[in-house]
Structure 1
Amino acid sequence: MALVTAGVVVLDCAEPEKLAEFYRELLEADDVDASANRVEIRTADGFRLALRRDVNATAPSWPRPENSLQAHLEFVTDDLDGVERRIVSLGGRPMESGDSSGPTEERGYADPAGHSFTVRRGVPTAPKQG
């Protein structure tokens, strides 16, 4: 038996209730557990994300070195354009990414509190040809 098991991803932010609503809507999560300084959501597939109150939290400044990216979330979809519309409608914003000359397999975003996350195209389920 392992001494530790996987816990939960926790993001610090000034207003956990607002940020939890963004992720609850984006991930279509129904299970929400809230206390005075923390809100945790759980998706149907068991993913857990907690938002912890830190009144001094500042948004990551990636790719600038000061207050740079510490970690980020990655989500998977088969509909990058649809997810982007959903993210923007919930208050998130696209972040500048590299080459924008064609369809990308991964896109970067910031949530309403400024935490970065990516959405990438899902791995094809069809067998590889050739």
Structure 2
Amino acid sequence: MLMTLTAVTLDCADPLALADFYHRATGLPLHERSDAEFAGLARGPGASGLFLGFQRVDGYRPPSWPAQDVPQQLHLDFDVDDLDAATDRLVALGATLPSVQPHPERWRVVLDPAGHPFCLTTPRPAP
């Protein structure tokens, strides 16, 4: 039996605001059925590819990275050509850069506006 991953959904307090951040960060268009309860980004109507969703959760508490008082549970990784330029761009869009950076020369941990940590990395050459 083959399983195909089709979507990743993040909990948050404001789905439309978080979808807008990731739209501006990735260029993926907002799904036409997005609303205040659930928003998403997709490659376009009927297009295949991974769907990135954002669902409203009452009492949402952002992860407390790197502490685990409120665990991150998952995080997204994005390949970028230039770590510094990508980091600066995302901070200008509303992300924050935590002071703890385990390997800043290899990847950067960034927090989206809802507090979800995600990583930026440069692609590694194929062996």
TM-score computed with the length of structure 1 as normaliser: 0.83
Cα distance in 2, alignment partners of residues 47 and 27 from structure 1: 13
What is the number of residues matched between the two proteins?
122
Q: In proportion to residue count, which structure has more strand?
A: 1
Report which of the two structures shows the higher radius of gyration computed on alpha carbons. Answer: 1
1:1-130 mapped onto 2 (5 Å cutoff): 2=2, 4-33=3-32, 34-43=34-43, 46-95=49-98, 96-98=100-102, 104-124=105-125
Displacement of 1:47 in angstroms is 3.1
Cα distance in 1, alignment partners of residues 113 and 65 from structure 2: 15
Cα distance in 1, alignment partners of residues 92 and 111 from structure 2: 13
Aligned partner letter, 2:66: P
Give CA deviations for 1:47-81 in whole Å, capped at 9, x if unaligned.
Answer: 32100011211100122222112000000011111
Cα distance in 2, alignment partners of residues 40 and 11 from structure 1: 10
Runs of 4+ displaced beyond 4 Å? none
Query: Which segments of 5 or more consecutive residues in structure 2 lack a partner in the other structure?
Result: none
Displacement of 1:31 in angstroms is 4.5
Cα distance in 2, alignment partners of residues 99 and 117 from structure 1: 14
Displacement of 1:99 in angstroms is 5.5
